[in-house]
Amino acid sequence: MTTQNVTIPALSGGSFSAYLATPSTQPDAGIMLIQEILGVNTNMRQIADDYAKSGYLVLVPDLYWRLEPGVQLDADDKDQWAKGFELLQAFDVDSGVEDLKASLSFLRQYPSSTGKVGSVGFCLGGKLAYFMATRTDANANVSYYGVDIDKNLAEATKIQKPLILHLGENDEFVSLTAQASIQQGLKDNPLVTIYRYEGVSHGFSRVGSSTYRKEAAELAHDRTLAFLKQHLGSGVKV
């Protein structure tokens, strides 16, 4: 496996950086890994490396580049967590989706790519992974504790590719009411699978943080890998 920073041209002009992890073998497919409110930090790069070791070409775009390039924050540092929320408030979701579309094109056209690309996002990235399902033709999408999905269920009719939502039962940023709305709004869509994990809060899959819960995180990861293998596979160049 090798890693590098690459530059992606934005659809609206300018460019932004991304972390790219390349497997040592021919990649099964591409994964766009979508950041939390904490930026492209050590945790996101580690997740990218792990997926690359599983055979995927993994790209982690810096979605905060218009606000502050190169943000890397620690969830367990109160000041840095607060800064993450400040950046979230200033973040333009529509521009973020456009940057993800540019990232999707970059991955599909990358020399070793099979042409098949999925997304996996956490927190803010979990919401954006939902939008990858409703606004793009990404081949498969996975949302971990995505925020505000309940407020955007009107877009669900546009979902054309498989989507997983991983929800923590005690998520302090996705209330039980919000979770009920999500389940009700998506229950009749055969492309959507929802998993709820009892007794865990937001960030249950964030390795090394105070919110990490090993059993739930490993179960969600196993489900995600099986899902990606099913829907991305080895693929063929398209």
Catalytic annotation, residues: 171, 202
Q: Which letter, b or e, does each residue of 17-50 get, where b requires 16 or more Cβ atoms within 10 Å of its Cβ?
A: bbbbbbbeeebbbbbbbbbbbbbbbebbbebbbb
Measuring CA to CA, how many Å separate 83 from each of 70, 88, 96, 171? 13, 8, 18, 20
Q: Measure the CA–CA gap between 230 and 16, rounded to whole angstroms.
A: 31
Residues in the chain: 238
Bridge-based pairing of strands 30-34 and 117-122 is parallel
Q: Where are the alpha helices (DSSP H) in 110-168?
A: 124-135
Q: Measure the CA–CA gap between 132 and 56, rounded to whole angstroms.
A: 18
Q: Measure the CA–CA gap between 207 and 201, rounded to whole angstroms.
A: 13
Backbone angles phi, psi at 217, to 5 degrees: -65, -45
Which is nearest to 137 in space by CA: 166, 167, 161?
Answer: 161
Can you say whether the dihedral through the CA atoms of 4, 44, 71, 59 is positive or negative?
positive
Query: What DSSP element (H or E) covers 61?
Result: strand 57-61
